[in-house]
Amino acid sequence: MKIRSRPGSLMVCYLAVISVFLLLPQLIVVVVAFSEASFVSFPPPGYSTKWMVRVLSDPSFMKPLWNSVVLGLSASILAAALALPASIAIVRHSFRGARVIQNFLLSPLSMPALILAIAMLFFLSDIGLGNTYAGLLFGHVVIVLPYLVRTIVAVYSGADPRIEEAAYTLGAKPLSTFWFVTLPMLRPAIFAGGMFAFLVSFDEVAIALLLSNASSITLPVSILTYLTYNYDPAVAAISVIKMIIVVLALLALERFYGLQNLTMQSR
Amino acid sequence: MSNSDAGNRIGHLSIKGLSKSYGDTNALSDVSIEVQAGEFLALLGPSGCGKTTLLRSIAGLLETDRGEVAIDGKRVNDTPPWKRDISVVFQSYALFPHMNVRDNLAFGLRMKKSPKSQVDKRISDTLKLVRMEDYKERYPSQLSGGQQQRVALARAIVVQPRILLLDEPLAALDAKLRGSVQREIRQLQSKLGITTILVTHDQSEAMSMADRIAVMDSGNIVQIADPATLYRHPKTAFAAEFVGDINRVSGKMDATSVFAPSIKIADGIAVPFSADRVGDFSEGDPVLLMVRPETVRISRTAAEGFHLAGVVDDIILIGDRINIYATCADTTFKVVKLTGSPEAEMFHPGENIFVSWDRADSLVFAE
Amino acid sequence: MTRRGSIRQGAKGYLLTFPAFAFLAVFFVGPLIVNLLESFKDDEGGITFAQYARALGDAYYLEVLGDTIALSLVVTIASLLLGYPLAIAIARSRGALKSFLIFLVVTPLLINVVVRTFGWMVIFGRSGFLNSILKFLELDTITLTGTWTGIAIAMVQVLLPFMVLSIASTLEGIDGELEDAATTLGATPLKTIIHVIFPLSLQGVITGTVLVFALSIGSFVTVMLMGTNSTMVLPLLVYQQLNLASDWPFAAALGNILIFVVLIATALQLSLSRKGARR
């Protein structure tokens, strides 16, 4: 079939248009980040790194950047600690309701984040965690947990259960088998799922908007609030720095896991 | 391999009344087997016959409902797999994907706390045994199927198990490789003398490798015998049909006299069979008559005594053999002759012929 | 012994899933329940439906709800039409082209919505990219910022990847020989797509459609940054009720209406995929 071996000319046109459509906004942001002007226009009248320098030395952006990194890492690690035993149980211990529990663990994915954020706001103040870092952290753990569960379950389901049985017959007790066989086999999945979780948390706006405070404000929130009052290349510059971090994380992800495996499982 | 101490580790396996059911299906019903130390036993049967369930319960990977598994006279039902000293080669090989060949072999030795000084030597010796000594640093994904199979075997024997279990170990190999690997495993087994149990659905594999074959059917052991006995004197129609090719004809017990027992098949033809098979039959019982294709004679002239008249349908050359299909007494008979033998060359489709066989070659089973 | 074994297995399973389960029960289900209770609470602590009556009885709120659903439907349909050929291209291409196409789809996912919306603001702004081109071509300039059209275009770009990935993962599972079979039986490539590929990819289409609909009905950043007073969507209204009016019970009620719409979409997905699976 044509489209399988060699795309037709109509397909090529379409792919070109859609590529521009999907990539243009990001490219524009990169160009504006190096604008010389003190206002946003396109194309910029000249190019300089002055906005990059300004943003990098501005604590009102650098502090949130650091906050985002810390929050993303802590939420991912905490979520991984919850997701790993649960995923292993879902795949290997065929217990009643395993399927239901799996769907439950994935359910935060289909909840509008802003509504969840509002609900958490009420709830956290009711249980005495209102306006605390723990509240923000737990909110992000809820959001990123499904990504870890999904990745680990998908990889572990594909692993041959005979591998662990082989370890048993070779004299390894269950704990040794977990430590020397299961965990190393799952390491790429944990890493990939954790990286994915980090990126989701790093980008999350709604929960951070409502649950963070002046000292824990995250980068997306600070960009959003800056943008509601200002419209200058500073936003583009900080966005480029954020993109660089994301691309680096993505390259690491690709190295450990392969991008192609990130296409979502339709389950 | 430095198996100076291997001699006293070879295990004798005794299974008594082992049963296991999943819901309404009996995967194993009251299975008993004795496997002598150093013996090579094959569990042969179609998929779902319970052979893998039996293997997994021997390894301790599966809990059974009733019965006993004993190794060297000691009951091991409640011994977990990691304390049983039984190695398994799985159909999927189940090599540790994150370890290279050396570490795959070292795993069992480390878990069983072998002295460090011996580990390297034992790994090298074992890899030499399976001709994989040049692949120590390779990861499983960098090996071919045949190479993975050898590593799986090496990983299983390097720990000097009391019993070696092979779960369809050759199923994933291509047909050309299978024959040579069968012989290699057989030689290795007799060299090391490990008590070995092979699970397979391939009768030729079981016949060519095992000392004895246990034929299994829906959770039961139908017959345990050496390959020759199993082939010549199958106890049931199932065993007869599962091991080797066979012609089958339905009939009725005609005469049960020990002097001239016979079976009546279509057209009222009486087929003689040997007296030692009369057994518990009485006249009029519906029976199955079976004859191996290579014991059937075919000729242009009627033989003296018992014979069936018929027509040649088809002649098919299969390399070293020729299969002649002929319809006699409403049944298609397959006759196998060696390519180049005089009988193989002289017939043509459509030709009228006669077939016959010795009464000793008539296998008779209850229908 | 089997029974004992399976019970032990089951207990172990529950034990291992318990931490994650309990965490979500407290910090995910807990808030939703509190939210639900809050929306029914009246001043004296009794039960009232007043908040819902207010939300659904007022022409303004109904209009916002209607606009929100309409915008989400437009974005969803546009994503489906634009994304389907891309999903086919991903599923059927090999090597470098495939890697590029996957990069094309995944990269936007990893760039923040705020940043991408900012990009669209630059494109659509008065002295932005689009108008520079129009000026260069000596055409009339247009302003899309603050219009439903501009918002919808930006949202399609934000949500398209979800649609493409959902469909592509189903298409990947379709046997390529099926297409070859259809072609050898005389079907043109277009007919093959319509009669063979599309029906088989329906599961992915349903998943992607509901996912994009649910995401777009809950999204507020694009409207918040690009919109004006005349372009209001429900999530943003909820946020404003909370932030500006501090009317918690009413915000909770509006939020629950939104959740209700998402639940209907999900239920529709379930029944549709069951129907699809039955065929």
| pLDDT single digits (tens) B107-165 | 999 998 888 888 999 999 999 999 999 999 999 989 998 999 999 999 999 999 999 99
Residue A242 has pLDDT above 50, yes or no: yes
Interface touch A170/B87, C-beta < 8 Å: yes
pLDDT tens-digit series, residues B186-217: 999 999 999 999 999 999 899 999 999 999 99
- Chain B: residue nearest A164 by CA? B94
Interface touch B111/A163, C-beta < 8 Å: no
Closest by Cα among C107, B167, B291, C14 to A254:
C107
Interface touch B107/A165, C-beta < 8 Å: no
Q: What average pLDDT does chain A have?
A: 86
Task: Give the span between the Cα atoms of A45 and B337, in whole angstroms.
Answer: 93
Token reading at A132: 């605390």
Residue A263 has pLDDT above 50, yes or no: no
Token reading at C158: 């934000």
> What percent of chain B is modeled with pLDDT above 70?
98
Rg (CA), chain B: 25
Residue B225 has pLDDT above 90, yes or no: yes
Residues 6+ apart with CB under 8 A from B360: B274
Determine the distance in angstroms separating the CA of B243 from the nearest CA of chain A, rounded to an integer: 29
Question: Where are the strands (E) in chain C, listed by range?
Answer: none
The mean pLDDT of A134-159, rounded to a whole number, is 92
Residues 6+ apart with CB under 8 A from A94: C9, C13
pLDDT for the residue numbered C4: 44
The mean pLDDT of A221-249, rounded to a whole number, is 86
Whether residue B88 lies within 8 A of chain A, CB to CB, comes out as yes
Interface of C with B in 5-64 (CB under 8 A): 5
Task: Give the span between the Cα atoms of C211 and C166, in whole angstroms.
Answer: 9
Residues A1-10: b if buried by 16+ CB within 10 A, e if exposed: bebbeebeee
Q: Which residues of B touch A165 (CB under 8 A)?
A: 59, 61, 81, 88, 90, 94
Starting at the edge strand found earlier in the chain, the sheet holding B297-299 runs B297-299, B352-356, B308-318, B321-328, B331-338
Task: Give the span between the Cα atoms of C223 and C225, in whole angstroms.
Answer: 5
Question: Where are the strands (E) in chain A, listed by range?
Answer: none
Q: Do the beta carbons of residue A263 and residue A195 sit within 8 Å?
A: no
Stretch (H or E) spanning B299: strand B297-299
Whether residue B63 lies within 8 A of chain C, CB to CB, comes out as yes
Q: Which of A18, A29, A262 sits opposite C119 (nearest CB)?
A: A29
Q: Which residues of A touch C24 (CB under 8 A)?
A: 104-105, 107-108, 142, 145
Task: Give the span between the Cα atoms of C59 and B213, in whole angstroms.
Answer: 84
Chain A contact partners (≥3 CB pairs within 8 A): B, C
Q: Which residue has the higher pLDDT, B177 or B65?
A: B65
pLDDT for the residue numbered B164: 95
Task: Give the span between the Cα atoms of A32 and A49, in whole angstroms.
Answer: 10
The mean pLDDT of B222-244, rounded to a whole number, is 92
Residue A256 has pLDDT above 70, yes or no: no
- Chain A: residue nearest B154 by CA? A170
- Token pair 């069979």 in the structure block, residue: B273
Contacts 24+ apart (CB under 8 A), C268-276: C268/C210, C269/C206, C269/C207, C269/C209, C269/C210, C272/C206, C273/C203, C273/C206, C273/C207, C276/C202, C276/C203, C276/C206
Return the bridge partners of B363, or none. B290
Q: Do the beta carbons of residue B51 and residue B45 sit within 8 Å?
A: yes
Interface touch B155/A166, C-beta < 8 Å: yes
Q: Which residues of A touch B108 (CB under 8 A)?
A: 170-171
DSSP label at residue B303: P
Residue B32 has pLDDT above 90, yes or no: yes
Closest by Cα among A103, A90, A94, A105 to A144:
A105
Interface touch A259/C168, C-beta < 8 Å: no
Residues C151-161: b if buried by 16+ CB within 10 A, e if exposed: bbbbbbbbbbb
Task: Give the span between the Cα atoms of B279 and A231, in whole angstroms.
Answer: 101
The mean pLDDT of B47-57, rounded to a whole number, is 91
Q: What angle do CA A243, A110, C261 make, to 5 degrees?
A: 125
How are beta strands B163-167 and B86-89 bridged, if at all?
Answer: parallel
Q: Which residues of C touch A211 (CB under 8 A)?
A: none
Task: Give the span between the Cα atoms of A264 and C97, in whole angstroms.
Answer: 19
Residue B70 has pLDDT above 90, yes or no: yes
Task: Give the span between the Cα atoms of C38 and C45, in whole angstroms.
Answer: 10
- Determine which of B187-191, B331-335, B363-367 has the lowest per-residue pLDDT on average: B363-367
| Confidence grade of residue A165 (pLDDT, cut at 50, 70, 90) | very high
pLDDT for the residue numbered C276: 62
DSSP B14-38: EEEEEEEEETTEEEEEEEEEEE-TT
Interface of B with A in 118-157 (CB under 8 A): 155
| Confidence grade of residue A262 (pLDDT, cut at 50, 70, 90) | very low
Interface of A with C in 191-210 (CB under 8 A): 199, 203, 205-206, 209-210
Q: Which of C12, C19, C111 sits opposite A93 (nearest CB)?
A: C12
Q: Do the beta carbons of residue A19 and residue C108 sit within 8 Å?
A: no
Q: Do the beta carbons of residue C56 and residue C62 sit within 8 Å?
A: yes
Chain B contact partners (≥3 CB pairs within 8 A): A, C
Q: Which residue has the higher pLDDT, A40 or A152?
A: A152
Q: Do the beta carbons of residue A137 and residue A71 sit within 8 Å?
A: yes
Residue A191, number of CB atoms within 10 A of its CB: 17
Determine the distance in angstroms separating the CA of B127 from the nearest CA of chain A, rounded to an integer: 17
Residue B7 has pLDDT above 50, yes or no: no
Residues of chain C short of pLDDT 50, as ranges, are 1-4, 279
pLDDT tens-digit series, residues A108-125: 887 888 889 989 988 998
Residue A141 has pLDDT above 70, yes or no: yes
Stretch (H or E) spanning B365: strand B363-366
pLDDT for the residue numbered B10: 79
Task: Give the span between the Cα atoms of B268 and C88, in whole angstroms.
Answer: 68
> What percent of chain B is modeled with pLDDT above 90?
56
Interface touch B65/C1, C-beta < 8 Å: yes
